[in-house]
Structure 1
Amino acid sequence: MSTASVAVVVNAPARKPSKNVGAVRRVLGTALRTRRGVVGAGLALVVLAVAFLGPLSPASPTAFVAPPFTPPFTNGSGLLGTDVLGRSVLDRVFHGGWSLMLLSFAATLVAVGIGAVIGVVAAYRRGFVENLLMRGVDVVLAIPQLVFSLLLLSLIGPQWWLLILAVGLSQAPQTARVIYGAAQSVVEKDFVKAVAVWGVPARTILTKHVLPNLTTPLMVELGLRLSYSIVLIAGLSFLGFGAPPPAPDWGVMVNENRIGLGANPWGVLAPAILLALLAVGTNTFADAIARANLGETRGEDAVLASAPNSTPEESK
């Protein structure tokens, strides 16, 4: 390859961000036009609206309104009755989701960020670095996520930043595996090899030429990791590693109200249903994105294969 050809290849990827943004928009638009995508996005948005708009309610989540475990619409107990201490279940549901969502979003970003870096670096570097990173990933994968998170939290205590770090690190290996597999085909592309021959630093190659071509796998991983982070953080809150009482928290509500299921089950059912709906919604929407991307890729391959000037080798 001549110097001029290499220069052209090096300069060409500078236009890729807009192309990738267009591809992301097409995939999201295709996903939202499917029944699966609409249902998933709708479920997730309903729960997110409850979590982030609920705190706007003027009612206090710690005020005592009726005797403990009073059924709904009895003695001023409200729509969902009261909890173990006589507080309104509805008000606590409205105020108990925003902290869980913020922690889950932060843990998801940590998981996908660390996992993406490990996967891309391992796929690009190969050799000793690849073996070191991926064998370390295998070691962490062998430890159950809940056990790994509890191990980290038991060292210092239930600090919010440690909760984010524990949940993020426990899920990073899954993302690293996925991105590692997706990046292996990208690093073998001619434009990546040409940029490397031209002497561009590896960090620039990874951030400007490899990662932009992994947008769709990263989007799918964000959706999946978010649903797992929500369930895991809610589970840790159930075990006492979440928000301290009397602060409302959906995971804590399930734990403290389970003794009154026979009297007023809504103290457990309401937060559990919201958590389940959010997990199902994010998983369904992530699946719709994956299916939309797969259909788009197959469509591009079909167009290339049917081109008049395409050769059998190009059609493969």
Structure 2
Amino acid sequence: MSNPSYDTTGTGFCRKLLASGRVRRAAVATFLLLAIAYLGPLFAPHEPSDIVGIPFDVAGAGVWLGTDYLGQDIFSRILCGGRSVVWMSTLASLIAIVFGAALGLFAAYAGGLVDTAVGWFNDILLAFPLIVLVILFLSMLGHDPSLIVVVVAIGWLPTVTRLSRGVALSVIHQEYVAWAELVGMPRYKILLKEVLPNVTTPLIVQFGALLTWSIGIIAGLSFLGFGIQPPNADWGLMVNENRSGLMIAPWGTIAPIAMIAFFALAVNSLTDAVSDILGIGDVL
């Protein structure tokens, strides 16, 4: 038996989401950006690393947004540069949600020294600004994309752990949890069947928030030279590569900034809309 206060099952929930104009608009915008990121390379007129003209050339036939600092087609690199931002930010957020939720649930249910130790772990991580923590590790261990994902996910652990622990504390003292303990249900089953379903909805909304923040962090790392490396196409990297030609060929800088901003805005709008419908804004 589970507390229905955060129940996301049933057709009623789906109808409520679909009935919201905000959710529909944000979902369409998010889907459009994802389609550009993953299907864009199929429609790119040139390979992202092909030299098609002189550096910082203006827009014209075959180069709709002009060329970048090497003479590569900006439009093609925009279409090919979104995958890295999407998959890295999504995977980092997902890892943080899974492990942070597990850690928070375990701390809330175990209590005592375990809860205190988890609190200390969170405090240690929170003592370092996320961008500083990520750059520190990447400076020592390299710029591998999988490492970036792991380090960003670790940086988000305290946020997710605190959320899941706080919601779980309001659940573990409910009667149905006490009944499960009384009949001898194993602890892992209590956590999975009685506690976890009641923290799922806040975690789903938290995932959207983390995804928004991760987009900015990962794009920022590429801009600073700690993310995706040349000659690969990446929106954050493109901003850094073409900023010296901003006054000559502005699209090399403006276009990737716009794509990053639109993607983050679409995800954030969808998260806010879902959060408002579920009425859990105060929880997050």
Is this a same-fold pair by TM over 0.5? yes
- Between the aligned partners of 2:28 and 2:109, the Cα distance in structure 1 is 38
Counterpart amino acid of 2:19?
A: R
In structure 1, the partner of 2:17 is 31
Aligned positions of 1:1-316 closer than 5 A? 12=1, 20=7, 22-23=9-10, 26-57=12-43, 59-73=46-60, 76=61, 78-294=63-279
SS for the counterpart of 1:154 is helix
Distance 1:212 1:132 in 2: 25
Shift, 1:34, TM fit: 2.3
Structure 1 residues 225 and 26: CA distance shift in structure 2, 3 A: farther
**What amino acid is aligned across from residue 235 of structure 2 in structure 1?**
W
Shift of 1:21: 5.3
Partners in 1 of 2:21 and 2:88 — Cα distance? 29
Contact 1:140 1:170 in 2 (8 A): yes
Give the C-alpha shift of residue 131 in structure 1.
Answer: 1.2
**Which residue identity is paired with 1:69?**
F
Aligned residue for 2:199, secondary structure, equals helix
Q: Does the CA-based 8 Å contact 1:224-1:286 persist in structure 2?
A: yes
Secondary structure, in 3 states, of the residue corresponding to 1:93? helix
Map Cα deviations across residues 148-201 of structure 1 (whole Å, 9 max, x no partner): 111221221011221111110111111111111111111111111111222222
Q: CA deviation at 1:213?
A: 1.5
Matched residue pairs, number?
A: 278
Whichever residue aligns with residue 285 of structure 1, its letter is: L
Distance 1:26 1:118, change over 3 A: farther
Find the aligned partners of 2:271 and 2:41 in 1 and give their Cα distance. Answer: 28
Q: Which has the larger radius of gyration?
A: 1
Residue deviations 1:6-30 (CA, integer Å, cap 9, x gap): xxxxxx56xx99x95525x644542
Residue type of the alignment partner of 2:133 = F
In structure 2, what is the Cα distance between the partners aligned to 1:233 and 1:28? Answer: 32
Q: Unaligned 5+ residue runs, structure 1? A: 1-11, 296-316
- Determine what percentage of the aligned residue pairs are the same residue: 38
Gaps of 5+ in 2: none
Q: For the structure 1 residues 20 and 267, does the alpha-carbon distance in structure 2 shift closer, same or farther, using more than 3 Å as the test?
A: same
User: Secondary structure at 1:225's aligned position in 2?
Assistant: helix
The answer on whether the counterparts of 2:8 and 2:201 sit within 8 Å (CA) in structure 1 is no
- Report if the CA contact (8 A) 1:47-1:278 is conserved: yes
Q: Secondary structure at the match of 2:279?
A: helix
2:238 and 2:191 mapped to 1: Cα distance?
Answer: 44
**Shift of residue 77 of structure 1?**
5.2
Distance 1:217 1:42, change over 3 A: same
TM-score, with structure 2 as normaliser: 0.92
Under a length normalisation based on structure 1, what TM-score does the superposition of the two structures give? Answer: 0.83
